[in-house]
A and B are shown apart, each in its own frame.
Chain A
């Protein structure tokens, strides 16, 4: 990659800064069209949502610490599980990846900014309003949505609290935000690459985001469609999901999961990208099988559209449908396996060091694989009749989402933080944060496999005595994990404040355009395109 333009860029942007620095005060954040500002806002927003959704998780775990009802009523418990899921999926994980994309994609492809900067501003600023509306429902009569984050009809239509209408509107707003963000990512990557940055030279983070953006554009309208059908059923007398009026409650599930399955890849593909950046840096060795990584990501994206009904093995589909979705789902293990093997092969015969981002990345590979294994088990339809809707499923998707998506986001933040702030974070504190998170997470989620297999259904506020011990263990783990995230906030804030000047290259083994610009990255970068050989 080019380093010859480094001087040119930095001196150019320094003089540029004095003319066109950020606006002063709060209006900087309202009016900004700068990809770095918007990226930061996305990341902060996601952190706030992570803490909000996390507090809800802790309330759930406090109630489940012992059998019996201690702290919260069953209806409020359902509101907690519902809002925890919605906030973590749409408020924490997705905006965090959009934040990383905003910061890194232009810097990785040698572009001065995102292609559509005003759209970018708007796609962020919709989110605080969408989530305010979502959280407002807690104060409405009948309380917040209580039908699970998957909001199956008719529980979410005929039997829903009145606040469901606000929930629908909030989902629409999030959808608009995501679609606009995705359009921006695609247009930027396809049009704004520096000369010489051909597609097959794109950093993997950019590739995975490009594919994710296509998934978003394809499925967010489906989500919008399904909530609109709900709205019609609730207010305008249609019967899409009401059998008494000629509809079908299972139709809801088909439409929802046609969105929902690609959605889970939307939350993991950028994570693959982040990890594929970090492992080569700290193994000091080129990523093994770059092109097979690109193909594997594309096949996962394609397969994600033909496996949705594996979430619905128990709805009573015909045998042939059941078999089709079982086989298609098992197939996903192949490209996913290829990715894991490639990461391991990258580490093999490298020269590894274990800074915080690398620790998170290695933990990602191991723990995401464990989530992948339980996913493979869930794909076996006859066995799924026993696993379905139990804590085994809860363990599975938390293994892919927490030490999967969330760990990769944290890895990415530690990895790029010195570039963003110009300062190194405190390595000791970073490692402490990692180890507490790693231990906390496994204590929380590993025992859930056991209670699930033993027969504990999910989404219950109370349980039979035989599940008591492992539930107590899980709750202890959850509090360890939850509280140790305060360290993360401390680490980020102190890294912004204190000065421990980072070099431009930041890491010994780093490679790529983002490491050719100064640390901290100036407000405007690559106003002259670099040349990539």
Chain B
């Protein structure tokens, strides 16, 4: 029974089991990625190098310490007739194994300090983007060009519940990705609207907490065009696992084209409040908006989650005076998880979703909230 413990044995048993499982686990589509990604910025590569250096230092120390231990376990055992020696103190040895680790640590601290100083230098950025965390989506505001949009999970609910096959970028895909140009210094001004979130893109080695009421800075220069995916890293409530980040790095020219398109689309959206909407049109748009922005808490059937998120179906606000209903949606409710949707949704979208809430789930009040009315209230 005197098996020997060692790091080797440990990893060997791990690998053995891993191999067995590889053939038994159904989801074999995944890769067995072991290490951190190097990423696509100068900083992310520096971080990767630091990670590897400290890792190998640990491995070397482990080999020495566990080696001595293993040697003792094998050779200094009673069953082999080993007699216990009597030494139990040696000041020189104690000094040695205090000083040597100190020296190693100082050697490690120097490059780490250098990288940290670089990471903190967010000066002279080419583009400033404000990143705001909401429960449970991200908002991106381009301070120079005025582009402003929300980015939320695009994976359909059927894939999460297992009713549909999961696709390649399961949980790592969004409706509107953040778009940035290649080779430009982008400064991210990170904050939050409700609770603390954390904006993390592993390929940029950027992870910064998004804190309500405060603005944090971070920056990146992406060196290669491509799509980079990350996730919210700070527990932010129920759907913390469902608010991914997708960054599309485009060439300068494509980026400019994209910005123009966005500005045009935004202007279009603002105008949509002026046209007359029918009840059916409002209901269709309203359902889309509801499923995207409201259903996470109030649930698709409007029944909410008792104790956590109130039901809308049969609620006095939904059935009562439209003005009170509009006020809650526009301005949120202080001290609760109910957000202000004034800036999140267009006037038409707000009108549509309120109309939807007042007419869905058998409540049919027949009310039509007109987008133009909301547009006036929003000003």
Contacts and interface: CB of A to CB of B under 8 A. Distances in A.
A236 to B, nearest CB: 13
A446 B14 CA distance: 8
B25 A472 contact: yes
A477 B47 CA distance: 31
Contacts of B231: 455, 457, 460
A354 B72 CA distance: 12
Given A244-B213, A382-B116, A66 B26 contact: yes
Contacts of A373: 58, 61-62
B298 to A, nearest CB: 14
B241 A351 contact: no
A472 B108 contact: no
Nearest to A280: B88
A25 interface: no
A49 interface: no
A349 interface: yes
A141 to B, nearest CB: 3
B169 interface: yes
A340 interface: yes
A155 B237 contact: yes
Contacts of B116: 319, 322-323, 326, 381-382
B265 interface: no
Contact of A316 (B35, B37, B51, B214): B214
A198 to B, nearest CB: 17
Contacts of A513: none
Given A465-B30, A468-B30, A286 B86 contact: yes
A261 interface: no
A469 B28 contact: yes
Interface in A364-388: 365-366, 369-370, 373-374, 376-377, 380-383, 385-386, 388
Contact of B18 (A244, A453, A461, A473): A473
Contacts of B198: 314, 388-389
A148 interface: yes
A390 B109 CA distance: 23
Main secondary structure of the interface of A (DSSP, over half): helix
Nearest to B171: A464
B36 A386 contact: yes
Interface residues of B, number: 120
Nearest to A454: B33
A292 B68 CA distance: 20
Interface in B168-200: 168-172, 194-196, 198, 200
A170 interface: no
A350 to B, nearest CB: 5
B69 interface: yes
A45 interface: no
A336 B65 CA distance: 13
A500 B62 CA distance: 40
A74 B46 CA distance: 36
Contacts of B233: 314, 388-390, 457
A496 interface: no
Interface string B81-100: 01111111110011001100
B306 interface: yes
Contacts of A70: 162
A71 B288 CA distance: 28
A385 B237 contact: no
A319 B306 contact: no
Contact of A347 (B29, B76, B160): B76
B281 interface: no
A420 to B, nearest CB: 24
A464 B241 CA distance: 10
Nearest to B58: A373
A469 B27 contact: yes
Interface in A157-202: 158-159, 161-162
A159 B194 contact: yes
Given A453-B35, A469-B21, A351 B54 contact: no
A504 interface: no
Contacts of B29: 465, 468
A450 B206 contact: no
Interface in B26-67: 26-37, 43, 46-47, 50-51, 54-55, 58, 61-62, 65-66
A344 B65 contact: yes
Contacts of A366: 5-7, 10, 66, 69
Given A143-B308, A289-B88, A383-B51, A465 B168 contact: yes
A362 B68 contact: no
Contacts of B160: 68-69, 462
B194 A154 contact: yes
B67 to A, nearest CB: 10
A457 B308 contact: no
Interface stretch (A96-104, A262-270, A437-445, A516-524): A437-445
Interface string A265-285: 000000000000000000111
A386 B78 contact: no
B239 interface: yes
A338 B119 CA distance: 33
A472 B213 contact: no
Contact of B85 (A243, A285, A385): A285
Nearest to A283: B84
A8 interface: no
Interface of A: 66-70, 74-75, 78, 140-143, 146-148, 152, 154-155, 158-159, 161-162, 242-244, 248-250, 283-292, 314-316, 319, 322-323, 326-327, 330-331, 333-334, 337-338, 340-341, 344-354, 359, 362-363, 365-366, 369-370, 373-374, 376-377, 380-383, 385-386, 388-390, 428, 431, 435, 438-439, 442-443, 446-447, 450, 453-455, 457-470, 472-473, 476-477
Q: Which 4 A-B pairs have the closest CB atoms?
A: A243-B213, A142-B307, A460-B241, A141-B307
